[in-house]
């Protein structure tokens, strides 16, 4: 859902299916345990957010999850990781089928995350930013005991402000670099990205988390880009002023979150690299996937405890990953 404009700038199409699943069902989709399926791909940073939030809030038993494979063609993400290449709940191979069920010949890009209404087989929403906020605010009746407050009411204005800058300058900024269609567009995108990373370095040099003294939605949104920075964005997207490992504050912050239950245990580095290097043939026509970088450093001490903060506030960490949802051992750091 993106294109390069005549000036060479990368533009992301943000016209999503915006129906919401709410506690009162005002859009026609009430929160109901077992009714919906969250469709994701571990490779995708936008989907990785939803995986993390679902796990932190303990929604595994009320909102099922389907994993697409890391690669796709121009038609759709596919369930090629499942036996027979078919999602066991939705009964489809192409995620596009759920989009077409909602809007015949769906004219836009088929994206993840998407939430599908299982009884009808139709996509309800692919509005990735709203999905995680609604998991925090509309699904509260089904949160686990000790679930953290990822979007606390008193901090929402600040979270929204920080998250918006992270989205435009960092989450989308790396894509603006990678898909720039001209030197001028790339140079401007590069400067914007690293200006934002310098701002984050200054902010996180003084506090453990982005907003307040606990993990919030803002941290989730930044983490998924940082986790992909050295494996793909530094080289593949030419975001190469510095590696993450060469930015001491951000590297320590990323390791702190990675080592927090619910974050690093959702990251599949093998799928991440496969997606970017194989799918983006306009950038990498050989489809060769690099062997590096070395990932052991993710598990080294980060020292961020010295800044204080309580990761889960008055809550508790999530328990072990639900069986069948684990990242394969060979795909993780360490």
Report the CATH number that the domain containing residue 183 is assigned in CATH. 1.20.1050.10
Whether residue 328 has pLDDT greater than 60: yes
- 284-311, pLDDT tens digit by residue? 999 999 999 998 899 999 999 999 999 9
| pLDDT tops 90 at residue 257 | yes
Q: How confident is the model at residue 7 (pLDDT cuts 50, 70, 90)?
A: low
Are 158 and 188 members of one domain? yes
Quick one: average pLDDT of 29-34?
Answer: 98
The yes-or-no verdict on residue 99 having pLDDT over 90 is: yes
Q: Residues 177-227: pLDDT tens digits?
A: 999 999 999 999 999 999 999 999 999 999 999 999 999 999 999 999 999
Q: Which residues contact 286 (CB under 8 A, 6 or more apart)?
A: none
Residues 161 and 136 in one domain: no
Q: Which pair of structure tokens corresponds to residue 149?
A: 């407050």
* pTM: predicted TM-score of the whole model, two decimal places: 0.96
In a domain? residue 99: yes
Nearest to 147 by CA among 224, 42, 66, 52: 52
Q: Are residues 109 and 159 in the same domain?
A: no
Confidence check: pLDDT of 40 > 80: yes
Mark whether 227 and 293 lie in a shared domain: yes
Choose the catalytic residue: 16, 36, 44, 94.
44
One domain for residues 88 and 193: no
As for how many domains the chain has, the answer is 2
Q: Are residues 177 and 138 in the same domain?
A: no
Please report whether residue 149 resides in a domain: no
Q: Supply the mean pLDDT for the chain.
A: 95
In a domain, 129, yes or no: yes
Q: Are residues 137 and 249 in the same domain?
A: no
Angle between helices 45-57 and 128-137 (to 10 degrees): 10
pLDDT band at 73 (very low <50, low <70, confident <90, very high): confident
pLDDT, average across residues 52-67: 98
Among 16, 94, 151, 175, the one annotated catalytic: 175
Give the whole-angstrom CA distance, residue 57 versus residue 121.
25
User: Does residue 259 share a domain with residue 206?
Assistant: yes
The reply to whether 174 and 136 lie within a common domain is no
pLDDT at 42 over 80: yes
pLDDT at residue number 333 = 84
Are the beta carbons of 215 and 257 closer than 8 angstroms?
Answer: yes
Range of the domain at 93: 2-142
Q: State yes or no: is 175 an active-site residue.
A: yes
> Of 119, 142, 165, which residue sits at a domain end?
142
Q: Are residues 131 and 257 in the same domain?
A: no
Per-residue pLDDT band at 268 (split at 50, 70, 90): very high
Mean pLDDT of 68-94: 94
Query: Crossing angle, helix 183-204 and helix 156-166, to 10 degrees?
Result: 140
Let me know if residue 94 belongs to a domain: yes
Is residue 147 included in any domain, yes or no? no
In angstroms, the Cα distances linking 159 to 144, 212, 331 are 23, 9, 31
> Binding-site residues, please?
77
User: Residue 277: what pLDDT?
Assistant: 97
Confidence of residue 23 (pLDDT cuts 50, 70, 90): very high
Same domain, 277 and 208: yes
pLDDT tens, 122-144?
999 999 999 999 999 999 999 99
Hey, what are 7's tokens? 């000036």
pLDDT value at residue 10: 60
Residue 86 has pLDDT above 80, yes or no: yes
Domain assignment of residue 137, yes or no: yes
Q: Compute φ and ψ for 5, nearest 5 degrees.
A: -80, 175
Q: Which residues belong to the annotated binding site for glutathione?
A: 77
Domain stop point among 121, 142, 163: 142
Q: Give residues with Cβ within 8 angstroms of 153, minimum separation 6.
A: none
Q: Are 216 and 152 in contact (CB under 8 A)?
A: yes
Domain assignment present for residue 241? The answer is yes
- Asked if the structure places residue 148 within a domain, the reply is no
Same domain assignment for residues 168 and 276 = yes
Q: Which residue, 116, 142, 168, sits at the end of a domain?
A: 142
Q: What is the CATH number of the domain that holds 37?
A: 3.40.30.10
Whether pLDDT at 1 is above 50: no
Q: Is the pLDDT of residue 3 over 70?
A: no
CA distances from 181 to 7, 283, 309 (A): 7, 11, 42
pLDDT of residue 13: 60
């Amino acid at each position: 859902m993106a294109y390069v404009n005549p000036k060479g700038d990368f533009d992301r199409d943000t016209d999503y299916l915006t129906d919401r699943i709410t506690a009162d069902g005002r859009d026609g989709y009430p929160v109901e345990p077992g009714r919906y399926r969250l469709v994701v791909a571990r490779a995708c940073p936008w989907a990785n957010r939803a995986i993390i939030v679902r796990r932190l809030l303990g929604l595994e038993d009320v909102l099922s999850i389907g994993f697409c494979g890391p690669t796709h063609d121009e038609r759709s993400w596919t369930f090629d990781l499942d036996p027979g290449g078919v999602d066991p709940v939705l009964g489809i191979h192409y995620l596009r089928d759920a989009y077409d069920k909602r809007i015949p010949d769906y004219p836009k890009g088929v994206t993840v995350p998407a939430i599908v209404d299982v009884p009808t087989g139709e996509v309800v929403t692919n509005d990735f930013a709203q999905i995680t906020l609604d998991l925090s605010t509309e699904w509260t009746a089904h949160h686990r005991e000790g679930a953290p407050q990822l979007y606390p009411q008193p901090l929402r204005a600040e979270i929204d402000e920080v998250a918006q800058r992270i989205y435009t300058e960092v989450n989308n900024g790396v894509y603006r670099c990678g898909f720039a269609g001209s030197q001028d567009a790339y140079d401007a995108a590069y400067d914007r990205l690293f200006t934002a990373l310098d701002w984050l370095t200054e902010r996180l040099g003084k506090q453990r988390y982005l907003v307040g003294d606990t993990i919030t939605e803002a941290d989730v949104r930044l983490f998924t880009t940082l986790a992909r920075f050295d494996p793909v964005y530094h080289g593949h997207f030419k975001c190469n002023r510095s590696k993450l490992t060469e930015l001491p504050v951000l590297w320590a912050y990323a390791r702190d979150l990675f080592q927090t239950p619910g974050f690093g245990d959702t990251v599949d580095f093998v799928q991440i690299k496969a997606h970017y290097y194989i799918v983006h043939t306009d950038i990498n026509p050989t489809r060769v996937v690099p062997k590096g970088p070395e990932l052991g450093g993710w598990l080294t001490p980060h020292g961020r405890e010295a800044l204080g903060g309580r990761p889960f506030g008055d809550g508790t960490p999530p328990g072990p990953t639900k069986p069948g949802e684990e990242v394969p051992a060979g795909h993780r750091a360490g």
